[in-house]
Amino acid sequence: MSEKHNLSRLVQKDKNTRILDILASTNFNMDRNHLPRRQQRGINEPTIEVAITYGHQEFIRGRLTFTLTDRALRHTPYAKFSDKLRGIRVICTEAHQIPRF
C-alpha cells in the first residue's frame, strides 16, 4: 500500500482527529493557486487533520497556525510518517465558528 493510503487509514482510526467537526478550505483572492499547489505537494485532507490535531500551535500575523515538526510527531501514531509530514503548516481563520484553512 502507498504511504498516502496508510496515512489516510491511520487518520480514520485515530480518535483524536474525530474532534474536528467541520473543515472548510478557503481560497483567498490574493492566492488563487492554493488548491493546485496543495495537490502538487500531496497535501490532502488527512494530512491537514493530522496537522491541526498534533501540530505546534502559534499565532503568526494574527492567524492561528499549526505546524508539524519532528518533536510534535514524536509520540504520536504518525511518527513513522515524519519525513512526509515534517514542515506542513496549516493557516486558519475563524468565521462563523467554522475553522478554515
Identity of the amino acid at 23: L
27-46: pLDDT as tens digits: 555 567 777 888 888 888 88
- pLDDT of 16 reads 79
The model carries a pTM of: 0.75
Cα–Cα distance, 49 to 11 (Å, whole number): 8
- The whole-number pLDDT of residue 95 equals 42
Cell numbers linked to 28? 483567498
When pLDDT is cut at 50, 70 and 90, the band that residue 96 belongs to is: very low
86 CB-near residues (< 8 Å, 6+ apart):
68, 69, 70, 73
Q: What residues does each domain of the chain span? A: 3-100
- What's the pLDDT score for residue 43? 84
